[in-house]
Chain A
């Protein structure tokens, strides 16, 4: 087919969490520019399976439409590759040139241990959510949606924060492997709405404590997280997280 490309991949291969990994070279030929990055991996894996010499490459994916947050490849030094505001599954091969060499690595963080090859364990995020990223609701009939007035600005900002898909690219991009952008998005989305208010102090205190326990680094405000976030979560959320945290420490009964 005309216009198809040959790509030189260097992919991180690692049998399991305990073994040593290394970059392995693969040549993928006849890649259509319209393929997604993951489809190129499907092609390569098909070939590896049929050749039977090498195990297929393990990588995470689910929806393949940019909404689940499962795909997680660190491509040429950047999470989710070179484009802005897209996940790996929404990255297409037309963003690369024929003959390009592409280095693909897993997210790197002590809190995200490698399971196999490019798949990492992001349960740390789940534990942070479980520690406070929710609201408690009584059972019974739902009240009328319009009975709770919410300022449009707040609703918009809460919605923008709620767009976080929990992919972990912020952690992967950050030189400190900090999870601040993720935690700030989750804290903000609830702090901005009346439903989140009753638990706001315990929420932020518990989520920050859990974040620190998981071994994520401290935020040094480089901004790499927001620049690489597929949902373009804003740094103002991190400032809000700081405010919420210090307000809860200094101004509430809890600690």
Chain B
């Protein structure tokens, strides 16, 4: 075995894979969050739809997104494999096991929490990502007055289609944009109670998963240092366990109530 395979097949190396892919996914969450904040803009979805076009056509982002899919798969399947491997290390269970006496609940349930998130990712991606990529997302025509900023939106006929995801034209003060309307899919999708419920449950799971996962990743990389632990804890809890899940949960709720 060469040293690389040896390192990554050791228990420490497998954990390093979990840590690195996990932190990569965390960095994606921030970008996803910032981009999706455009859902809250009062522009009938124009900015969000343009952003969706950019994210799916820019070559650098496209390449990164393949890395991201690979990281999701790696993190999920390595994680599941590790859960079973670790279960094998204790073939006879305790009759009395007092886990809460010595560890946090989320640290003992990363596998379950991760599985909830994985189910969510599959539903989420088939709803929006696959729909956008392979399904038929209708187009909308936006007429924007450059001076006043007023935006008028008209749905194109359902069978309307064109070669690109977006076309822009200027006619005097008017800027006309015809674009695939992912915003409308979001709007419609989040009228479904079960979907909104799934999103909220998944975001709760994400919160607990990252509460442990973020700081655990640093420990696995060997970074446990009194000069940095404060910052790691603050970001892990404040940003990843609180802000991000609340922000993402607010999106389906907003459209459900709206």
Complex Cα–Cα for A178 and B223 (A): 19
**Contact in complex: B94, A239 (CB < 8 Å):** no
**Contact in complex: B98, A77 (CB < 8 Å):** yes
Smallest CB–CB gap between A145 and chain B, Å?
30
Closest chain B residue, CB of each to CB of A238 = B219
Identify A224's interface contact among B15, B103, B110, CB under 8 A. Answer: B103
**Contact in complex: B220, A208 (CB < 8 Å):** no
Interface string of B79-93 (1 = CB under 8 A from A): 000100110111111
Complex Cα–Cα for A78 and B82 (A): 24
Is B107 at the interface (CB under 8 A from chain A)?
yes
Q: Known A223-B103, A235-B219; judge A77-B15 contact (CB<8 A).
A: no
**Contact in complex: B101, A255 (CB < 8 Å):** no
Smallest CB–CB gap between B166 and chain A, Å?
45
Residues on B with beta carbons closer than 8 Å to the beta carbon of A217? 11, 85-86, 88-90
Number of B residues near A (Cβ < 8 Å) is: 43
Is A173 at the interface (CB under 8 A from chain B)?
yes
**Contact in complex: A219, B102 (CB < 8 Å):** no
Is A16 at the interface (CB under 8 A from chain B)?
no
Residues on B with beta carbons closer than 8 Å to the beta carbon of A177? 86, 89-90
Closest chain A residue, CB of each to CB of B223 = A239
Smallest CB–CB gap between A109 and chain B, Å?
6
**Contact in complex: B11, A219 (CB < 8 Å):** yes
Residues on B with beta carbons closer than 8 Å to the beta carbon of A108? 90, 92-94
Is B212 at the interface (CB under 8 A from chain A)?
yes
Closest chain A residue, CB of each to CB of B220 = A242
Q: Known A105-B96, A108-B93; judge A211-B220 contact (CB<8 A).
A: no
Give the A-binding residues of B (Cβ under 8 A): 2-3, 6-7, 10-16, 82, 85-86, 88-99, 101-104, 107-108, 110, 212, 215-216, 219-225
13 new A-B contacts, CB < 8 A, other than A220-B15, A222-B107, A223-B107, are A82-B101, A176-B86, A218-B86, A220-B110, A221-B212, A222-B103, A227-B101, A227-B102, A228-B102, A239-B219, A239-B222, A239-B223, A246-B12
